Structure formats: C-alpha cells, structure tokens
Copies of this chain bind each other. A is one copy, B any other.
Amino acid sequence: MQEDASDAVTDLIVLSIDAMGGDHGPSIVVAGVALAAKQGLCGPARFILHGREDELAAELKKFPGAQAVCEIRHSDTTISMQDKPAHALRRGKGTSLWNCIESVKSGGASAAVSAGNTGALMAISKLQLRMAADMDRPAIVASWPNAKGVATVLDVGANVVCNAEQLVEFAIMGEAFHRAMHGVERPSIGILNVGSEDEKGHDEVREANRLLREAGLNLNYHGFVEGTDLAKGTVDVVVTDGFTGNIALKTAEGMARFFAGEMRSALTSSPIAMLGALLASGGLKAMRAKLDPSSVNGGPLLGLNGVVVKSHGSSDARGFSNAIKLAANLARSGYAAEASAKITQLETALHAEHQPAKAEIKA
C-alpha cells in the first residue's frame, strides 16, 4: 500500500489501527477491519495495522479480501490493558498504540482506532496530538441508544472532575460531533442534573447552565435533563462530568444485560413460554439488536488535534468495525472546524466576563 496514492482515489481515507489492543487482541481487531472493508463501512479506505508483524500476517491470511487494503507496520512492543498511563507515557514509544497515534500526527492517516488501554490511549494521544484550544483532557463520547434514536453523551470517563467551562466545551464538541455523525442540523443539548430547575445541582452544573444560556454561543440549549431523559431521548447531546457519565453509562449497560438475562429466564420458564418465545423470536431479535451497546460501539476522544476513536476492550469484530466506521465518518466531517470556532467564541465570552473592571478603569 502506498499512502501517497490517496490523491488518486476520490475521498480515499487512511485509517490507523492499533491491532494489538483490546481484551482479545489481533484476532478480533483484524476480523473487525476485514468486516469494515468487506461491507464498505468507511467508503474508500485503507488501513495501517500496527502490531507484531507475524501475528498480524497470520490473522490477515484468514481474510484474503482485506489484504489488498491493509498494510502491516511492525511494532515490537505493546501496552497492556493493566499499564498505568504514566508508565505508558514513559515506556510507550514504539508500541503499537504509540505508532498508531503517530500515523495520525505525521499526516499518514486521518484517524486512529484502538481497543487498548483507555488511560494510555488518552495520555499518548494528548502528548502526541495536543489538545485543541484550552481543554484539559479529551472527552470520551458514548452513542446512547434511546426511544428516539441515538444521543451523544459526554464525558463518560476521561475527566473525573470538571469545572463549568469544561462542561460547556463538552457541549460545543458534542454538538458538532452529533451534527457530523447524525446529520442533525441543530442538535439539542442538555446538562445532566438531579432535577430540571435552574437552581438544582452543584455549582459546576449551575454555572455551565448559565454560560450556555448567556455566552452567546448560538447553540440549541435545552437546559438541565435528568437520568430518565437518557432513555427517553429528550435531547440529542447530554453533557456531564466523566465521573457521573461513566457511572450512568455502566449502570445502563449493566441494566441492559440484567434485563436480557431476566427476559431469557422469563421466556424459558415453561414449555408454553418457550413456544411463545420461539414464535416471538423475530421481534425479540430485532429488539436485542437495537438495544445492543456493541451496535453503536466506538467512543471518539473529542478535543484533540486529530481523530482518535476508542473501541470497547471487550468488543467483538462487529463492534470494532463500527468503531472504524465512526472514525472514518468523523475524519470526513467538518466537526473539528465547527467545534474550534465555537470554543474560540466561548473563550472570548469568558474573557469579556472577567475583564469588566479593567474596561471601567480605562474608561
């Protein structure tokens, strides 16, 4: 594969893949890439697979159709799922994850996908690509299935403690991301809180609520939403700190698995129920597919100078292929420019708020 050939093909995109990441490693990752390529999930695309050459070559042999669009780039070492981010930063150079991000930094690829260690991915992405504007850490996004479709929920784990300005940045990035992903022109935005009234919640959410109303960002801001609104689909973009978002997401994931298990028990509780389940199986299968979190797998790390998508560590090949599709769509969209323009606006508004005394002195 020649990367410089990309000009010759309309809209060809190059995706950089950490082929060693995830709980299952290359077998799932390579199968996911092959599935994405076979189903044309990314449009015209080529893939750089970072990892141990022999292992990857063996896996790739299983998918002859994918070989033509994949290039293996050997990495001697890997970052384990257990390594701490600080360790990953010190010892990460030359690992498959590091090289995966470096391909984006060098311009050789338009987006990176990894199912590896989240902390290491965040730290290495931030170090190599740097943050756009003044954000502290990239936000992790969940695409959350609900009664109306899918909502964009962020942050779901990266920023455990957030101030008001960061929450507003999440709103800006989430809005641009949602438009890019789902074609909604003016996505509605809500801040997750313990009630919908303006005086509810702690200082950070109340101040973010005020900024979103008053900073002139021209966003379709709805106000506070509650936990129940996640499943209802009340707004397109749900903004929260990484602590709350992570717990809400994992609570919902756990509930989904619990319900599925209970439903299985209910439908096998008697021979009559089993017959009923058999007859109803078409509808139930469609329902499970709709609720399955892996059908919308892939969490972009928003706020970096470059597209990086995190796949669930436990994802299967189909889930990984969805993460790849998301990375390709995001790389082709105008998301980055839109978010960057609004964040500049936010900074101007905050600067104006903090400088009135100075202006008065001058006057």
Residues of A within 8 A of B (CB): 146-147, 157, 160-161, 192-194, 201-202, 226-232, 240, 242-244, 246-259, 261-263, 265-270, 272-284, 286-287, 290-291
Contacts and interface: CB of A to CB of B under 8 A. Distances in A.
Contact of A227 (B249, B265, B267): B249
Contacts of A232: 254, 258
B262 A273 contact: no
A262 B263 CA distance: 12
Contacts of A284: 263, 266-267, 273
Which of A248, A249, A256, A272: most chain B CB closer than 10 A? A248
Contact of A276 (B246, B248, B265, B280): B280
Contacts of A290: 262
B227 A160 contact: no
Contact of A160 (B147, B202, B279): B202
A273 B279 contact: yes
A260 to B, nearest CB: 9
A270 B283 contact: yes
A235 B246 CA distance: 19
Given A231-B255, A247-B248, 13 more contacts: A226-B246, A226-B250, A228-B251, A228-B254, A228-B257, A231-B254, A231-B258, A255-B259, A256-B259, A262-B290, A266-B287, A276-B276, A276-B278
A281 B267 CA distance: 9
12 contacts: A194-B246, A194-B247, A227-B252, A227-B253, A228-B253, A231-B254, A251-B252, A255-B256, A266-B284, A268-B283, A273-B284, A277-B280
A247 B29 CA distance: 34
A265 B267 CA distance: 16
Contacts of A247: 192-194, 226-227, 240, 244, 247-248
A213 to B, nearest CB: 21
A273 B283 contact: yes
Nearest to A157: B194
A250 B228 contact: yes
Contacts of A286: 266, 269
A298 B48 CA distance: 56
Contacts of A276: 275-281, 283
